[in-house]
Amino acid sequence: MDGFRDRPVWLLGLAGLVLAQAGLALALFGPDRAWAAVTDDRPLMSGRHPLHLYHGALGAESFCARAATTCYDPHFQAGYPKTPVFDGGSRPAELFLVLGGGTYRPGAYKVGLFAVLALVPVCFAAAARGAGLPAGAAVLAGAAGIVLGWSGPAARMIAEGQFDGLAAGLAAVVFVPWLARFAATLGVDAWLVLAAAALVGWYAHPFLWVGLTPVVLAYYLVFAPRHGPAFHLGLAGVTFAGVAPNVWWLVDWGKYWWVRQSAADAVPPPDWAAALADPLGGLPGGAALVLAGVAGGVVGWRAGRRAAAGLVLLAAGLAAAAARVAGAWPVVAPDVPDRLGLLAAAFLVPPAALAAWAVLGRVKLATAATVVLTAWLLAAGWADGRGRPLARAAGVAADPLPVGLTAEQRELVAVLRRHTTTEARVLWDETATPGDRRPGWNWSALLPVLTGRHYLGGLDPESGVEHGYCAMCCRQLGGRGWGEWTDPELRAFCDWYNVGWVVTRSPEAAGRWAAYPPAKEVARLAEGGREVVVFALDRPRSFVLTGAAAWESAGPGRVVLTRVAPNPAGYVELSLHWVDGLRVFPSYVRVEVLKDPTGRDPTHHVRLVVPGPTPRVTLTWDSP
């Protein structure tokens, strides 16, 4: 055997790769590679990192309070259910924020991202060992995994905040070859690796994990007839170890698919001609990696490791095929093909490393080449100069992520704190054009934390959540162009949603609100290349539409009203979205649905039936 136990010196090589990856990961947070930049309170501002941090904080607070991460958030969109469906990318953030104390802590979020990135070489080396590669070849696979982990698609995933997909992808890369190891040995070590990978995969990205079903089914059909009860029970135990610890949130994941869905009535089929036109399109490494992976599969097959070779190549082929279909299907998000292509390339890394190790071994250079590559990555991670020439030559250079608010954003936050209060909502002009990905485009998801105010819009212009009807986005309000809104309709909208201030970030929106008589400009500034105009609206500011009550507090899953007095009909009507499962205390108060009088809002508001003056009323939501 040539494993790490037999050749422990290769553990030094693996440790060197982890150290190199740590240096490369630290460079994401600043050119000085300082650990303090990871642990400080400045949030990551690129992609959807702000959204995941915000939802992670909500989920962590809710989990510490009632052991559930699904909660009702009244700070955005007049109230909406934060669920595992929207947004699924916040689950890793929830885990690390729970470990960090259960509150909003950007440092805990960044430490979590750093930990996932640091594990990249370990996961690829573990996958290689599962496929039966010797320790040296496993270290070579770890080095190749680092290079792949900083390729264009992977760097974009990191910048966009998709490290739930990264974590699940790493788990899948380990899981597939260790299936073969388990079939060969039925060992406890193989079972533990499979169980751990399944646990991580189901937690990080269940949809990706379900996508492994064809691989697992083929594996079972081939090996089930060859084994007795121990194999079947072991495989069932792996499934149980992956699903059972995640049931507490998977139930909500299945329950709330309706929260996020496409508005399209008909789903067009993929363009099959486009899917077949370039089979290797978007695959990092292209034909060279495919040829090396297939060659490594042949080497492994001839060496008796047929199960590992077949499973890995099958998984890579399915992922590549899925990437091509996704790229030719209009309903699929544009970044999905890159992510699937990256996964296909990741499956090919261990057999490609085996092929390279075999070729280099014939000329007695396998060990030397692996040591040189490890040393180069170490130098790129820790000793690179200005411009990072070594990292760029090795293909492992990534631009630092924007960390912390810019001066313009800090000024805008100060303006909002100065000119707004908690008496009403701020209507926020979201991204002006679909697909806008300028740096920091989603920073507004942190506005409730930064300002303590309530907002319509600013959470995620592409969320697809029906509660976002009230957002001002893409030169529209409520899905209608500015030319369709009359002054009385705007007044009714602002009353229904208790809008006290408007922040415009496009000329069209600024022009329409400037022409609205109750709107008065209170500030004009710039942010992200846009002119930002803040308007204050001259109207009564209250979250209570009829009746009387004091809005005392609002947090994840709980809204507290005091000094509650109904109108003559016995109602207190609130500018707050109703969701199924809202409960009200004391028990003699009832909660009912209040429909939008215009009929345009697909989500209704809350009406309380109150028999008389009540000192305190509490609304809670327990995700029924």
**pLDDT tens digit string along 186-244?**
999 999 999 999 999 999 999 999 999 999 999 999 999 999 999 999 999 999 999 99
Backbone torsions φ then ψ of 541, nearest 5 degrees: -110, 110
Looking at residues 93-104, what average pLDDT do you find?
Answer: 96
Residue 5 neighbours by CB distance under 10 Å:
9
φ/ψ of 618, rounded to 5, equals -120, 125
Q: Which residue, among 11, 13, 7, 4, has the nearest Cα to 376 in the 3D structure?
A: 13
- The reported pLDDT for the residue numbered 263 is 43
Q: Is the pLDDT of residue 264 over 60?
A: no
pLDDT the model gives residue 108: 97
In this prediction, residues 399-428 reach a mean pLDDT of 96
In contact, 342 and 169? CB cutoff 8 Å = yes
Q: What angle do CA 563, 567, 569 make, to 5 degrees?
A: 140
Between CA 611 and CA 567 the distance in angstroms is: 10
Looking at residue 433, its pLDDT comes to 54
Calpha distance 460→335 (Å, rounded):
17
Q: What CA–CA distance (Å, rounded) separates 186 from 127? A: 17
Residue 461: alpha-carbon gap to chain centroid? 15
Least confident of 82-91, 103-112, 260-269, 380-389: 260-269
pTM over 0.85: yes
Q: What tokens does 26 get?
A: 């630290």
Confidence (pLDDT) at 329: 83
Query: What is the spatial distance between Cα 558 and Cα 75, in angstroms, rounded to a whole number?
Result: 11
Give the H/E segment covering residue 16: helix 9-26
Q: Is the pLDDT of residue 432 over 60?
A: no
- Of 196-200, 373-377, 467-471, 480-484, least confident by mean pLDDT is 467-471
CB neighbours (10 Å) of residue 568?
7
Q: How far is CA 435 from CA 34, 47, 155, 332, 473, in A?
A: 33, 11, 18, 14, 12
CA-to-CA dists, residue 305 to 349, 351, 478, angstroms: 16, 11, 59
Q: What are the tokens at 29?
A: 């947070």
Identity of the amino acid at 508: E
Q: To which H or E segment does residue 560 belong?
A: strand 558-565
SS3 at position 194: helix
Per DSSP, the residues of 76-131 read: BTTSEEE-SSTTGGGHHHHHHHHHTTSS--HHHHHHHHHHHHHTHHHHHHHHHHHT
Report the percentage of the chain scoring pLDDT > 90.
76
Question: Residue 489: pLDDT above 70?
Answer: yes
Token pair 């790129």: residue: 380
Q: How confident is the model at residue 476 (pLDDT cuts 50, 70, 90)?
A: confident
d(CA 296, CA 362): 15
Residue with tokens 């040995």: 185
Position 262 pLDDT exceeds 60: no
pLDDT, one tens digit per residue, over 460-470 is 887 777 888 88
Could you tell me if 606 and 617 are in contact, meaning their C-beta atoms sit under 8 angstroms apart?
Answer: no
Query: For 4-23, what is each residue's pLDDT tens digit?
Result: 999 999 999 999 999 999 99
531-568 pLDDT per residue, tens: 999 999 999 999 999 999 999 999 888 999 999 999 99
pLDDT for res 624: 58
Could you tell me the maximum CA-CA distance found in the chain, to the nearest angstrom?
93
- The model's pLDDT over 293-336, given as tens digits with 9 standing for 90+, comes to 999 999 999 999 999 999 999 999 999 999 988 888 887 888 89
CB atoms within 10 A of CB 17: 29
Element (H, E) at 451: helix 447-451
With a cut of 60, say whether residue 180 has pLDDT above it. yes
pLDDT at 478: 85
Q: Kindly tell me if the per-residue pLDDT of 426 is higher than 60.
A: yes
Q: Across the chain, what does the average pLDDT equal?
A: 92
CA distances from 567 to 301, 539, 544, 570 (A): 79, 21, 11, 5
Place of tokens 């329409």: 512
Residue 617 burial by Cβ neighbours in a 10 Å radius (0-12, 13-18, 19+): buried
**In this prediction, what percent of the chain has a pLDDT beyond 70?**
95
Which one has a higher pLDDT value, 285 or 345? 345
